[in-house]
Structure 1
Amino acid sequence: MAVGRLALAVALALVVAACGWQLRGAGGGGFEGVPVAIGGSIDNRFSNRLAERLRGLDATVVEQAADARVVIEILEASSRRRTVATDADGFASEYELRYQIRFSLRAGGRAGPDQATFSSQTVRTSASYPADPGNLQGRDAEEEDLRRDLRDDALQLLLSRVGRRL
């Protein structure tokens, strides 16, 4: 009985794999071989990280919009910290860090007539962390690590939205 179920499961998996079906998000989101340019007034670290993530999805990152099928235009990337909890003396005991990227997708010079575009969209990520008034350097280092993680999470959300349009 168990062997029959196992054989059925294997046969079903082979049929599904043979027809090209895959889990949503499992295939890199349609970036394979797509020439992509990055635009906007962003710093080099952000631009380099986005280009690195695109290459990881097998996109071809190009310098000029004329050479791209799509252009990811970064309109704004920012982070903000706010106090979410205070202790009995009124000092911060917990902070929330928010990171957001506002972007648009436009057709590049190598786009086909059916290339999808979209106007401004925003992705946001956030996380909380404890404030330790006795360890300012440790808190600052933890905040910087968290900011980097939130940026990477926001980039993943951005790439997921863009990948669905390719």
Structure 2
Amino acid sequence: MSRRSVLSLACGALLLSACGFQLRGQQDYAFKRLAIVGGTPEMLGRLQRVVEGGSDTVIVKASEKPDAILSLSGGSGMRTLSLNAQGVVQEYELDYNLSYSMTGADGTILIPSSTIALNRALTYSDQFTLAKGTEAQTLFRDMQFDAVDQLTRRLAVVRSLHPAPSEALPGIAPRAPLPVPPL
């Protein structure tokens, strides 16, 4: 390697460490065997890859004596966000909700029922119906993956399988929806 490339690599590493950049690293979950109930196969696959790839926790079936059980249910929707002067839809709002809760093997509530609510805006044109349909599917998949990433960060908050009453985790309320734009 030339001296210039070594120097540029060293400067790049120094800049990244100076700005606080840090790789995600290894998660240390309180549970080592997790069963997941509900969810779509695509979401379950992503969740399994993220949990098993970033920790020593394994995903098992509910019948295989898990330490904790994660219950999931998701839903998506689409509503009109704005109309143009002719009354034709100009934008849609795409919504995705992931409801979840976690209980210990003995029934202890580790994470009370909570919801991750995400939304995206989609511009629309009748000229590009097929392309906009594909874009909507991509946005829904992106929201689903974003919800899984948020969920894994929420799972890391569980510190004990038998929390004291003072350590109980509160549920997380969804954020307020987008305001309706003026017509």
| TM-score in terms of structure 2 length | 0.66
Summarize deviations over 1:60-115 as a string: whole Å, max 9, x none: 111135532211111x2001111111111111111111111111001126x9xxx7
- How far apart, CA to CA, are the structure 2 residues paired with 1:151 and 1:66? 27
Q: CA deviation at 1:53?
A: 2.2
Secondary structure of 1:79's partner?
Answer: strand
Summarize deviations over 1:113-140 as a string: whole Å, max 9, x none: xx76122110111111210211111000
Q: After the TM superposition, which segments of 4 or more aligned residues of structure 1 sit over 3 Å from their partners?
A: 22-29
The residue number in structure 2 matching 1:19 is: none
Q: How many residues align?
A: 141
Q: CA deviation at 1:38?
A: 0.5
Q: Which runs of 5+ in 1 are unaligned?
A: 1-9, 14-21
- How far apart, CA to CA, are the structure 2 residues paired with 1:147 and 1:71? 26
1:141 maps to which of 134, 139, 143:
134
The residue number in structure 2 matching 1:35 is: 33
Secondary structure of 1:144's partner?
Answer: helix
- How far apart, CA to CA, are the structure 2 residues paired with 1:34 and 1:140? 40
The answer to whether structure 1 residue 89 and structure 2 residue 82 are counterparts is no
1:127 maps to which of 110, 120, 127:
120
The residue number in structure 2 matching 1:5 is: none
Q: How does 1:1-166 map to 2 (within 5 A)?
A: 26-31=24-29, 34-40=32-38, 42-58=39-55, 59-64=57-62, 66-74=64-72, 76-108=73-105, 117-166=110-159
Letter in 1 for 2:155: V
Q: CA deviation at 1:48?
A: 2.2
The answer (yes or no) to whether the contact 1:87–1:93 under 8 Å persists in 2 is: yes
Q: Greater shift after overlay, 89-98 or 64-73? A: 64-73
Alpha carbons of structure 1 residues 62 and 124: separation in structure 2 relative to 1, 3 Å: same
Secondary structure of 2:126's partner?
Answer: coil
Alpha carbons of structure 1 residues 29 and 100: separation in structure 2 relative to 1, 3 Å: farther
- How far apart, CA to CA, are the structure 2 residues paired with 1:77 and 1:117? 20
CA RMSD in angstroms comes to 3.0
Summarize deviations over 1:34-74 as a string: whole Å, max 9, x none: 2111013x332232222222222222111135532211111
Secondary structure of 2:59's partner?
Answer: strand
Alpha carbons of structure 1 residues 97 and 52: separation in structure 2 relative to 1, 3 Å: same
Alpha carbons of structure 1 residues 73 and 50: separation in structure 2 relative to 1, 3 Å: same
- How far apart, CA to CA, are the structure 2 residues paired with 1:156 and 1:103? 13
Q: Which runs of 5+ in 2 are unaligned?
A: 1-13, 160-183
| TM-score in terms of structure 1 length | 0.72
